[in-house]
Amino acid sequence: VNTNPLYTTREINHQLNDSGAKVLVVLSNVAATAAEIIQDTEVEQVIVTNVGDLLGSIKGPLVNFVAKRVKKMVPAFHFQNSISFRSVLALGAKSMLMPVAVKSEDIAVLQYTGGTTGLSKGAMLTHSNLVSNMQQIDGCLGSYFEEGKEVAVAPLPLYHIYGFTMHCMMHYALGNHSILIPNPRDIPSFIKALKPYQVTAFVGLNTLFNSLCQAPEFSELDFSKLKVTSSGGMALTSDVAELWKKVTGCPVADGYGLTETSPVVSFNMPDDIHSGSVGRAVINTEVKVIDGEGNTLPSGERGELCVRGPQVMKGYWKRPEATAEVIDEAGWFKTGDVATIDEEGIIRIVDRIKDMVIVSGFNVYPNEIEDEVGLLPGVLEAAVIGIEDAKSGEAVKLFVVKSDPNLTEDEIKAYCREKLTAYKVPKVIEFRDDLPKSNVGKILRKDLR
């Protein structure tokens, strides 16, 4: 069970109890939060590791001492039944390996959904799901990568399904080097970590690409070997895609996926990028869009995107009703995303169904407005939600983070009136210093609501 170490006590409690985990492996720096609630869970054994545990007999203890005593990075904590990671390794070295029979349909990982639209659920991903998706990604990118010679930037945490599949699965299987970035929000440290390398692959998402390109030092790095930049996790806006290509010389290949699909469903090939789309379905994957009655819609029409393929999860852990709501008897998974599929199979994600705003009966998709407003000079970030309105039922509210302090509300509304249909023009605009984001950098509209 991959767990976010920055979770609150409530979130950790939910995930440990929901999964029924018996053992918790935790870094000492973040152990205090888990220690507060461990007695309320079924966890029987805690394994505590320190940042210097695998750095050798001299450097390791020194790093651990500095982290704990000098930098005060390890808050006090107590577990009733804990053992050190190094002790576990020593015990394991003395034990005989006991082979376990594993079938492809067995659950390998309980990968919890991000919870951006509600309570986090455990997606049951099988060995077949994970290996299939790794091979599907390799089918898209394998021709661009030389085994054992690529240097990939890994700014997304490995507990996140995107980072997990790309770096713990695909790049690891290929013998490639992944540069792990502990804190992608610390842009100066991020750039410093990249300086010694000529990176060939970059995995990230829209807000991260934007933040990096705003830093002058980033453009000074050597991008001459960068051949693949893949984006996922949230919509890639056209302004950020153009800025990234201008700074690095490498176009962004946007893709699409979900925790429930291990995660990749579709991808833009680096040499065949269809701007504003998430590309075509990866190999051995079927996609379609349906209306509210479940009827398949023709090419070009908007509807809920459905996916069928070997990467689709077994279901939600201990939630048969929730599973039945999203996976039908024929194996089609309902994504909850509004999309179109054209005659060439190019998929365009319009928005999350739950994020859609209905103004006087008209559907308004936040992504469309955010993408357009992002092109306005002086706008650093934008996010849209729906708010109650006595006349229209709902109205559009726009949140803006400015890069130009002189940008005004009137200027934004005038721009929107020029670029958007009247009912899509924001009725309310709020300026903010920043926008709430998940730990992987996805803007959280639910928090704005």
Residue 369 sits at φ, ψ, to 5 deg, of -70, -45
In contact, 280 and 346? CB cutoff 8 Å: yes
Q: What is the DSSP string of 290-311?
A: E-TTSPBPPTT--EEEEEESTT
Place of tokens 């852990």: 317
Task: Say what the pLDDT of residue 439 is.
Answer: 77
Place of tokens 């990096």: 212
Task: Say what the pLDDT of residue 119 is.
Answer: 64
pLDDT tens-digit profile, the chain (449 residues): 999 887 878 889 999 999 999 999 999 999 999 999 999 999 999 999 999 999 999 999 999 999 999 999 999 999 999 999 999 999 999 999 999 999 999 999 999 986 544 568 999 999 999 999 999 999 999 899 999 999 999 998 898 899 999 999 999 999 999 999 988 989 999 999 999 999 999 999 888 999 999 999 999 999 999 999 999 877 788 899 999 999 999 999 999 999 999 999 999 999 999 999 999 999 999 999 999 999 999 999 999 999 999 999 999 999 999 999 999 999 999 999 999 999 999 999 988 888 888 888 777 889 889 989 999 999 999 999 999 988 788 899 999 999 999 999 999 999 999 988 888 999 999 999 999 998 788 899 989 99
Residue 37 sits at φ, ψ, to 5 deg, of -120, 0
Name, in order, each residue with C-beta under 8 angstroms of 31's C-beta and a sequence gap of 6 or more: 46, 48, 74, 75, 77, 79
Residue 87 sits at φ, ψ, to 5 deg, of -65, -40
In contact, 371 and 235? CB cutoff 8 Å: yes
Task: Say what the pLDDT of residue 63 is.
Answer: 96
E-only strand ranges, 17-162:
23-27, 45-49, 82-84, 107-112, 122-126, 151-154
The helix/strand/coil state of 348 is strand
The helix/strand/coil state of 397 is strand
Q: What is the DSSP string of 199-230?
A: -SEEEE-HHHHHHHHHSGGGGGS--TT--EEE
In contact, 241 and 214? CB cutoff 8 Å: no
Burial label for 170, CB within 10 Å (0-12, 13-18, 19+), is buried
Task: Say what the pLDDT of residue 214 is.
Answer: 94
Number of continuous H segments (helices) and E segments (strands) in the chain? 14, 22
Task: Say what the pLDDT of residue 393 is.
Answer: 82
Task: Say what the pLDDT of residue 117 is.
Answer: 45
Q: Please state the separation of Cα 69 from the chain's center in Å.
A: 34
